Each structure stands twice: as structure tokens, then as C-alpha cells.
Amino acid sequence: MAITDPVLDHDVVVIGAGPVGLLLACLLAQEGVDTVVCERRDAVDPRSRAIGIHPPGLRELAEAGVGTAVRTEALTLSGGEVRSRGRVLAALAFPPERPVLVLPQQRTHALLLDRLAELSPTALHGGCTVRAVRDEGRFVRIRVDDGHRRRELTAAFAVVADGVRSGLRGELGLGWRRRAGRSGYAMADVPDPDPGSQAVLHCGPDGLVEVFPLPGGRRRWVLRRGRDAGAMPGDRFRAEIAARIGEDPPFGADVEPVSFVAAQHLAGAVVRGRVALLGDAAHEISPIGGQGMNLGWVDAGRLARALRAGLDRGDADLRDYARRTLRSARDAQRRSAFYMAMGAPADGIVLHGREALIRALGSDALRDWAAGLVTMRGV
Ligand SMILES: Cc1cc2nc3c(=O)[nH]c(=O)nc-3n(C[C@H](O)[C@H](O)[C@H](O)COP(=O)(O)OP(=O)(O)OC[C@H]3O[C@@H](n4cnc5c(N)ncnc54)[C@H](O)[C@@H]3O)c2cc1C
């Protein structure tokens, strides 16, 4: 691969070794692009986050050479049911040619780390915080701090994949606008000897309860809390779920739920010269619907192609990446805002209207279209 300027340290510097930055690094490394990844952590991120892998995300994972490993470890979701007030309103099946896989983010992340180490053993620089990124016109300058010393790297391109709280996005002046959809949730992954292969969404009057099977005999329970986003004791989590679904959930009051706020934001721009935002740094998509990481992976595939073309041509035209990334993020945010509205507390005519809509989406006429929506068809 041609390097734009022979004095540069690297072709591409990726900032952030989350699942999205890592996938991009794998895609570039396997094409022979000289890529390094600067990651401020030097240990694994302990948070429990994404579990759902949709067909467009799986396509990119396969492209990076980890599709088989992910399929082997993941649970395949056969479909999902939407319930309200004790009745099943809709049931969707996911066809085998468009599988939805379930694998905790920490495992997917570990598989991507292994793949990058195999492709380029020295690519990942752990414990290396990027303090500043500057577009110099013909190259980029990146100021890094590895705990012992500060130094500068130069590269043809920098990719800022430093997550939703990106410090570099603000410094680059790329903006961060709030989009519709916001609520607090509590979530717990609990042992369950028989998790099955179906997701169940309870969209009743008091708000959403989601139940997802996890590989290895576990289930994820998610409870919508509205404005309340503080810590939630296990006994309250359990009692609230029991009240909403009409039966005791199969876990004890000693469960330790984590609370999170699902919100949506979009960067004002995702490219500045030779610097591109990627993944959650570019768009925050509500976890309800499980699209954020998958969308980031699709963006990574698009960006890998754009960077390779730019390196080959010796230019820095990332406009197509910018346009398509912003458009697909807006679409995903509209879908997530819709899913969140379906799980908001409701009564009276709003509840009846919502139940009728969900029934219609599960009807013979619309079921395939609805399954396509949920599995990110067209992304
Ligand atoms: C509860 C929950 C459930 C979710 N479920 C799903 C799901 O089912 N499906 C789905 O698709 N998505 C889901 N998501 C979203 C998904 O977790 C994110 O979209 C994904 O983690 C984004 O990956 P990323 O690589 O862009 O950012 P991150 O994972 O945030 O990684 C950013 C990395 O950058 C590093 N970093 C930050 N600043 C610097 C710096 N200055 N220098 C060097 N390194 C830096 C950080 O340490 C971090 O490792 C969920 C999110 C949550 C909270």
C-alpha cells in the first residue's frame, strides 16, 4: 500500500480500541495498510454492553476474518415475541439466512483483539492516551501520552473512535447534537439454565421489560425506568419486573442490576480533512434495538474502503464516508426512537393504538418487513 508521504510514521492511526476501532484496524491490517491503534486502557473494559449482532454487523466481522469464531461462540436468536397485558401481540422469526446472533461485547471484543494480534502483532498500543489530533493538510499529527512520556506520531489519516464521551470530537469542533429518544433503564445478566432462543419484549402499560437469551446459560433482563437513572436495588428490580410481566422472574432479590441512560446524539460532521470520527464517537444510538455497535462496524467497512482508496490515490476525499455515515445514523436513530416509544409507559387510547400497531406489524402482510426492520435490513 502506498504511503502518502514517506516521512510519516504510519498510514493510519486509530484512536480507541473499542469493538469499532478494532474492526477497522483488522480490515486495514489485512490489506497491508500500516495501522496502529492507540488505546488508553491497558486492561479489559469490565462493562456489560452490547449483545446483539445483526446481519450487517456479521457481514463486516466476516470480512475481517472473525465471522466463524463469532458464530461458533454466539447463540442464534430464532425470533422474538412482543407481549402486552398478558397477550402475545406479535411473533417474528429470523430466517437462517439473516441470523441475529447474541454474544456479549466482551467476547466479540476479545475475538477482535486476537485477530488484530494475528494480523499485526505490534499494532495495538495499550495504555496510550491521545491528547490531541491536528490535521496538517497533507498529513495528521497526533499527540500521545503513554504514561511515561509524551510524543508525536504522524500519519496519512487519523480515525477518532474514542467512544460516546469522545474528548477529541469536541476539540476538533465537530459538534454533538441531541436527537429524539431518552430514558433510564436497569439491566442484569443472570444465570438461567434454560434461556431458550427467543427474545421477549413486554410492552405493557407500565413500560418495557426485555428478556434476551445469552450463550452459556444466562439471560439479560432490561427494565425501562423513565427519568430515574440512579442505582436500583436488586429487590426493587425484581419486584418491578414481576409486577409488569405478571409473574416472578427466575432470579433472586440478590441480583445486581446496572443502570444506564439510553440517549441519542449525532456529530455535526464526521470528517475534518484527514481526520474521521467513527463508531460511538460519531453517533450515539440508543441501545434499545441493539444497533450502535453494528452500525459502527458498517461505518468501519465503508471507512476502510475510503482510506485505502485515499492512500492509493494520495488524496483525502472522505466525503462519501461522511455523507453515508450521517444518513445511516439518522435512520438508525429514528428506528431506535420508535422502539423506545413502543416501550414507554402508556394507557388509554395511546396504549390501545400502540397494541394495534404492534399487532399489525406482526400480521402476515407486514411480518417479514418488520423482521427486516429489526434485523437492520438495508444498512
Ligand atoms: C447497555 C448497552 C447495551 C448495548 N447493546 C448493544 C447491542 O446489543 N448491539 C449493538 O450494536 N450495540 C449495543 N450497544 C452499543 C455498543 O456498546 C456501542 O455502540 C459500542 O461499544 C461502540 O464501540 P466503539 O468502539 O465506537 O466505542 P467504545 O466501545 O466506547 O470504545 C472506545 C475506546 O476508546 C478508548 N479511548 C477513549 N478516549 C481515548 C483517548 N483519548 N486515547 C486513547 N483511547 C481512548 C476507550 O478506552 C475505549 O476503549 C449497547 C450499549 C449499552 C450501553
Give SS3 for 288: coil
Using the mean position of ligand 1's atoms as its centre, give its distance from the Cα of residue 312 in Å: 30
Ligand 1 within 6 A of 289 CB? no
Using the mean position of ligand 1's atoms as its centre, give its distance from the Cα of residue 129 in Å: 16
Give the tens place of pLDDT for each residue, 304-320.
999 999 999 999 999 99
Q: Are 174 and 198 members of one domain?
A: no
Which ligand 1 atom sits closest to the C-alpha of 280? Answer: 26
Return the best residue to mutate from 13, 280, 298 for the ligand 1 pocket (most ligand atoms within 8 A of CB). 280
Which alpha helices (H) appear in 214-347, and where do they start and end?
Answer: 234-245, 292-313, 319-342
**Average confidence (pLDDT) over 68-74:** 98
pLDDT-above-90 percentage for the chain = 95
pLDDT for position 124: 98
The cell numbers describing 83, all together, are 407481549
Ligand 1 within 6 A of 89 CB? no
Task: Output the residue whose Cα is nearest ligand 1's atom 20.
Answer: 293
Q: Are 17 and 166 members of one domain?
A: yes
pLDDT for position 4: 47
Helices 292-313 and 55-63, axial angle in degrees (round to 10): 40
Say if 231 falls within a structural domain: yes
Ligand 1 within 6 A of 334 CB? no
pLDDT for position 195: 95
Query: What does pLDDT average to over the chain?
Result: 96
Is pLDDT above 90 for 231?
yes
pLDDT for position 196: 96
Greater pLDDT, 6 or 44: 44
Q: Are 206 and 327 members of one domain?
A: no
Q: How confident is the model at residue 147 (pLDDT cuts 50, 70, 90)?
A: confident
Ligand 1 within 6 A of 359 CB? no
Q: Can you give the pTM of this predicted structure?
A: 0.97
Q: Are 46 and 149 members of one domain?
A: yes
Other C-beta atoms closer than 10 Å to the C-beta of 125 total 18
Ligand 1 within 6 A of 38 CB? yes
Is residue 28 within 8 A of residue 308, CB to CB? The reply is yes
pLDDT for position 325: 98
pLDDT for position 40: 97
Task: Output the residue whose Cα is nearest ligand 1's atom 37.
Answer: 162
CATH number of the domain at 313, please. 3.50.50.60
Report how far apart, in Å, the C-alpha atoms of 212 and of each of 76, 220, 255 are: 11, 5, 16
List the domain range (segments joined by +) for residue 16: 10-74+102-178+263-337
Give the tens place of pLDDT for each residue, 239-268.
999 999 999 999 999 999 999 999 999 999
pLDDT for position 1: 52
Q: Are 216 and 85 members of one domain?
A: yes
Is pLDDT above 60 for 174?
yes
- Structural domain tally of the chain? 2
